[in-house]
Structure 1
Amino acid sequence: MSTRTVLRWNLRRLMAENGMFATTDLVAPLHERGVEISRQMVHRIATKPPQRINLDLLAALCDILACTPNDLFELAQEQIREAPAVNDSGSGIGDLRPIRARIRRPGDNE
């Protein structure tokens, strides 16, 4: 097995530690800090790891949650299962062929 480095997004955990259990709890504090972001976008950021993040948003989140960027992002090692080779455990082509049908007329007893 091999490993890969992944970036974990801990926003939901930090929100819960600060008593914020709904994603809409972040909307007002973000607006107070000058980050104009829609309720839908806050939901997306809270529920899925962002591919990109605005530095103003990152700074506001760190200020609201009293944390550092290292608390929001966490590097972790993840095990990767190696895919089996194509012809390692598969059955032969003969197993995939259909069974030949026999067509009989009524009354034939072969």
Structure 2
Amino acid sequence: MLRKLDYRWHLREVMAMRGMFSTTDLRPLLAERGIDLSPSQTYRLVTERPERLNMATLMALLDILDCRMEDLIEPVPVQATVGRRRAVGQRQEDRRGGPGVGEFRPRRARILPPPGDGAGSSDGAG
């Protein structure tokens, strides 16, 4: 098994511990430190987990909130399994160990003429 690291983002909690309950409280403090974020960017920074974070923004947050990086970003180990690729024609097993969706696919329909209807019969036209 491979070990991967993920993280939890605690900006909102750290802000609340410092008495800051609105994203609008943070924006002017960032601007004082040269970080100009739009209201929507500031909101996303507080309410969502950022995928990328500018180092200057991180340093400004640490300064504003008087905290350490570990207070904002908590590393979390994640257990990841190595996926095996199936060979062509190999059955897919689901998580419960049963057959995969391939076993439950409908069969192709075969349309036959109605019984008693000959292939060469005429429909009375002509």
Normalised to the residue count of structure 1, the TM-score between the two structures is: 0.70
1:59 maps to what in 2? 59
Q: Which has the higher contact order (CA 8 A, sep 6+)?
A: 1
2:34 maps to what in 1? 34
Q: How many residue pairs align between the two structures? A: 105
Matched AA of 1:56:
A
Tell me how far apart the structure 1 counterparts of residues 2 and 56 of structure 2 sit (CA, whole Å).
36
Tell me how far apart the structure 2 counterparts of residues 58 and 51 of structure 1 sit (CA, whole Å).
13
2:92 aligned residue (60, 83, 86): 86
Gaps of 5+ in 1: 104-110
Q: Deviations over 1:18-39 (max 9, x none)?
A: 1111111101111122211111
Matched AA of 2:92:
V
Offset, 1:82: 8.8
1:71 maps to what in 2? 71
What is the SS of the residue equivalent to 2:74?
A: strand
Largest Rg, 1 or 2: 2
What is the SS of the residue equivalent to 2:50?
A: coil
What is the SS of the residue equivalent to 2:70?
A: helix
Matched AA of 1:71:
D
Tell me how far apart the structure 1 counterparts of residues 5 and 30 of structure 2 sit (CA, whole Å).
30
Matched AA of 1:33:
R
In the TM superposition, what are the counterparts of 1:9-48 in structure 2 within 5 Å?
A: 9-48=9-48
| Cα RMSD for the two superposed structures | 3.2
Tell me how far apart the structure 1 counterparts of residues 105 and 53 of structure 2 sit (CA, whole Å).
52
What is the SS of the residue equivalent to 2:53?
A: coil
Gaps of 5+ in 2: 84-90, 109-113, 115-126
Higher helix content, 1 or 2: 1
Percent identity over the alignment is 38
